[in-house]
Amino acid sequence: MRHPAEGTLRRLADEPSAITDPDRAHVAACPDCQETLSTVRKEAALIGAALHTEAAPDVDAGWRRLSDAFAAPMTAAEAIRVGRRAPVPRWRGPMVAVAAVVALLTGATAAVATDWLRVFHTEEIAPVTISRADLLALPDLSAYGDVEVTEEPHVRDVPDAAAASEATGLAVPEVTSLPRGVSGQPVYQAGDRVTAVFTFDGDRAGGPPELDGARFRLTAGPGVAAVWAEDRGVPALIVGRAVAPAAYSDSGVDFATARDHLLSLSGLPADVAAQLRAFTGDGTTLPLHVMDEKLTSAPADVNGAPATVLTSRDGVLAAVVWVRDGVVTAVAGSLSADEVLTVARGLA
Amino acid sequence: MRADLEEIFRDAYPRVVAVAARVLGGRDEAEDVAQEVFLSFGRSAVPAGEAIGWLCVAAAHTALNHLRSGRRRVAREADEAAPDPVPDVADAVVTREERRRVREALGRLPRKAAVALVLRHSGLSYAEVAAALDLSPGSVGTTVRRAESALREELIRHASSR
């Protein structure tokens, strides 16, 4: 009888009952297999000892921490991490507009609370540093009026890049060289345009008379994304592209009037409000919220387009986002800033 | 947040932390990884019966990602603040250095082999490891054995090159 494979001997060391009777009998009578089994056991013990780490966590404290995390809105880093680890990453729910990349990067609260700031055509993106406490203090739009989503994004998987392009009319970014540690084929996703109409309510928000009943139509998308996963779906890289947010008013209200009034109500610190006023002055710059506790931002250049690089303070995540010709593109993943920039600059 | 989360959390949290700790070599960062994993799980529709396998695999992957992203930081910190080998803390320094070497070697293994190795040494059965990694139970022993040999060789090779 041939000798059992080392894998079988390895299992014999752990789960003897799982090995067939003939194999067990052979090993018991075979000096060579006994010697191999002894080596296998020693190495298993050695590796077990090398990997062993004392870890007796406080379960109650852990549960409180997790409960607190669920009570708070997702941060940008968390949103991306959740997407990274889902077995089949999907962007669903109200937190994700079809401008999926922007929403993903700015996080749920930022996306909802500051949609009014997108009441313009986006030509560039600029970071706005804001603390978590200030972000959480922002009321959402329902505090100022009524929001009705009139077109849903319908984000779904599609078979390939061609199908994503056909569904959205967007050229799907092609990654020419994957970073180290990322391999295989991506899952492609497509989403339709999302549209919401916001009607300002003077009873709730006060303000000048012309604001009462003023309507703004906010649009974003369509969008596409390619997501690379490893093994059981631990995504390492996301490349997304979407038609940048824009907005329209049918009431003739001057954007600056609405902006200044909402900023006065939001309770934002003066310096943050000043940043927003400055960025939105020409109606073409989309503020990208950077929570100081979680992310750092830095300017960069992607083949001539000004870009913003975001890096999580724990070093786990990096992303780069830029706008060209009214289309926002982002590269994000469990990578370094250099790696996402390399991918971004190499997109075909 | 899913309704069964607390029950699953209380049952699985120590095990999930242990998986991450085997990869990272420390409890604090392992608890951070476990929190991330449960945050993701809490928003998922993973069936309760598959929870422990899903959580452990996610913990191993996430911890390996931390390991990879943290390697540069660790190396930089080591360069900037190499500790003086004070005699009475020499043992602690050696232990920390050995732990770091093990983790770096683990990070160099093929991803699936590293995950299988960590899961097995965290106490998952061969059937559980097989289900978690889409392997046949019969091939788990081979995967784990090769990973152990590879890790040992990595440690030896790295030690001899220093």
Q: B73, A66: Cβ pair inside 8 Å?
A: no
Determine, for residues A232 and B39 on separate chains, whether the beta-carbon distance falls below 8 Å. Answer: no
Read off the pLDDT of residues B18-55 as tens digits, 9 standing for 90 and up.
999 999 988 888 998 899 889 888 877 788 888 888 89
Nearest to A113 by CA among A327, A262, A277: A262
Is A81's pLDDT higher than 60? no
Confidence of residue B69 (pLDDT cuts 50, 70, 90): low
Residue that wins the pLDDT comparison between A121 and A53: A53
Task: Tell me: pLDDT of B72 over 50.
Answer: no
In this structure, are residues A82 and A235 in contact, taking their beta carbons and an 8 Å threshold?
no
Cβ-defined contact of B39 to A82 (cutoff 8 Å): yes
Return the beta strands (E) in A215-317 as ranges. Answer: 215-220, 223-228, 237-243, 246-249, 285-291, 295-302, 305-312
Is residue B18 within 8 angstroms of chain A, CB to CB?
A: yes
pLDDT class for B126, splitting at 50, 70, 90? very high
Say whether residue A53 is in contact with chain B using an 8 A CB cutoff. Answer: yes
Cβ-based contacts of B46 with chain A (< 8 Å): 87
Helices A31-51, A21-29: inter-axial angle, 10-degree rounding: 100
Lowest mean pLDDT among A18-22, A94-98, B66-70: A94-98
What is the C-alpha separation between B59 and B9, in angstroms, rounded?
13
Scan residues 221-240 of A and list those with Cβ closer than 8 Å to B: 230-232, 234, 236
Q: How many CB contacts within 8 angstroms connect chain A with chain B?
A: 164
More confident residue, A7 or A253: A7
A297: tokens are 């931002």
Look at residue A131 in the predicted model and tell me its pLDDT. Answer: 65
Q: Which of A91-95, A214-218, B154-158 has the highest mean pLDDT?
A: A214-218
pLDDT, one tens digit per residue, over A253-273 is: 666 676 677 777 666 666 666
Query: What is chain A's mean pLDDT, rounded?
Result: 73
Query: Do the chains contact at A47 and B148, CB–CB below 8 Å?
Result: yes
User: Which chain B residues are Cβ-neighbours of A334 within 8 angstroms?
Assistant: 65, 68-69
CA distance A225 to A242: 9
Collect all residues of chain A within an 8 Å Cβ-Cβ radius of residue B142.
Answer: 5-7, 10
Say how many residues make up chain A.
348
Mark yes or no for CB contact A55/B17 under 8 Å: yes
Chain position carrying tokens 């968390």: A78
CA dist., res. A32 & res. B156, Å (int): 25
Considering only the beta carbons, identify the residue of A9, A51, A334 that sits closest to B121.
A51
Between positions 55 and 94 of B, the ones with CB within 8 A of A are 57-58, 61-62, 65-66, 68-70, 72-73
Question: Residue range B89-118: average pLDDT?
Answer: 75
Do B68 and A181 lie within an 8 Å CB cutoff?
yes
Respond yes or no on whether the N-terminal peptide bond of residue B47 is cis (omega within 30° of 0). no
Contact criterion met (CB < 8 Å) for B9 and A62: yes
pLDDT tier, A344 (very low <50, low <70, confident <90, very high otherwise): very high
Interface test with A, best of B2, B36, B77, B99 (most A CBs within 10 A): B36
Q: Kindly report which listed range (A1-5, A252-256, B80-84, B145-149) carries the lowest average pLDDT score.
A: B80-84
| CA atoms within a 13 Å half-sphere pointing along the CA-CB vector of A83 | 34
pLDDT at position A142 is 66
Q: What is the pLDDT of residue A156?
A: 84
For residue A332, the distance in angstroms to the closest alpha carbon of chain B comes to: 14
Chain B nearest CA to A343, separation (Å):
17
* Whether the Cβ atoms of residue A191 and residue A220 lie closer than 8 Å to each other: no
> Is the CB of residue A315 less than 8 Å away from at least one CB of chain B?
yes
Output the CA torsion A163→A122→A322→B64 (10° steps): -70
Interface test with A, best of B145, B149, B151, B156 (most A CBs within 10 A): B145
Q: Does residue B38 sit at the A interface (CB-CB below 8 Å)?
A: yes
Q: How far apart are CA B58 and CA A332, in angstroms?
A: 19
Q: How many CB atoms lie within 10 A of CB A196?
A: 19
Highest average pLDDT, of A76-90, A175-189, A262-276, A282-296, comes from A175-189
What is the model's pTM?
0.46
Residue B151 pLDDT: 87
Question: What is the number of H-type helices and E-type strands within chain A?
Answer: 13, 14
What ipTM was reported for this prediction?
A: 0.81
| The predicted structure's pLDDT at residue B9 | 95
Burial profile A60-94: b = 16 or more Cβ within 10 angstroms, e = fewer:
eebbebbeebeeebbbbbbbbbbbbbbbebebeee
